[in-house]
Amino acid sequence: MNKKNALQYIILASFYCIPCPARLGYGLILLLVFNILVLVLTCTKYLLIKAKLEKYSKILQIIIAVAITVFCNQLLSLYSPLHSLVLGNILYIIPVSSIFGGLIIRKRKLLLAAELKLSMSRAGVFTLLSLVYFCVREYLAYGTLSFPSHTGFYISTLPSFNIGVGIFWASVPGAFVLFAIFIIIMSIIYRYKEIKWRSENNNA
């Protein structure tokens, strides 16, 4: 992962992680919609290029992404009106952020299989990191992990310790703080790997 990709991940993650309530179940729903959009939009981009409509690619993808998001939200409202109500506004951030986050729009023209492999692998990294964030935040806030159901959540209570400010992590300021901590940790890991890579190249 280069610095440009890392910055894209951070910007993209901020759209979901900070406004989302401190429940893993909500994060799972958002990430499912996100991955569906990445898959569909990658295929759409490829087809638009084949149809010689590349100059209209961005606006057409936004329109298609919004339509897919509306459809997903309607399905979600049928499954659980509660989840649809809570996530309604956040869901509509996904179309634009998925495209402008750098996971879809690229200058390179690849075969569809290569496009899908690249886009979904990057989406997979983002999904994994986001899941870690959602899990840690809910655990710190409530000492639980939740999974969506049509009536609310299936909640699994985990062994926890008294940190005294659990409810803070459920708030938006808490989300900002935890997100900043994650950025610092990821920066340290990235810096360590970069130094190690340079050291290995110098010794080669």
Which region among 2-11, 42-51, 60-69 has the lowest average model confidence (pLDDT)? 2-11
CB-based contact 172:19 (threshold 8 Å): yes
**pLDDT (tens digit, 9 = 90+) per residue, 66-118?**
899 999 999 999 999 999 999 988 888 887 776 665 555 555 566 788 888 88
Q: For residue 103, what pLDDT is reported?
A: 57
pLDDT one-digit tens code per residue, 128-137: 989 999 999 9
Domain region containing 164: 3-203
pLDDT value of position 50:
82
Mapping DSSP to helix (H, G, I), strand (E, B) and coil, where does residue 67 land? helix
Amino acid at 81: P
- State yes or no: pLDDT of 11 exceeds 90: no
Q: How far apart are CA 14 and CA 129, in angstroms?
A: 12
pTM, two decimals, is 0.86
CB atoms within 10 A of CB 176: 13
Number of domains in the chain: 1
> Burial level of 184, CB count in 10 A (0-12/13-18/19+)?
exposed
Measured torsion, CA atoms of residues 133, 138, 139, 142, in degrees rounded to the nearest 10: 160
Average pLDDT, the chain: 83
Please write the tens of the pLDDT for every residue from 135-168: 999 999 998 999 999 888 999 988 876 555 678 8
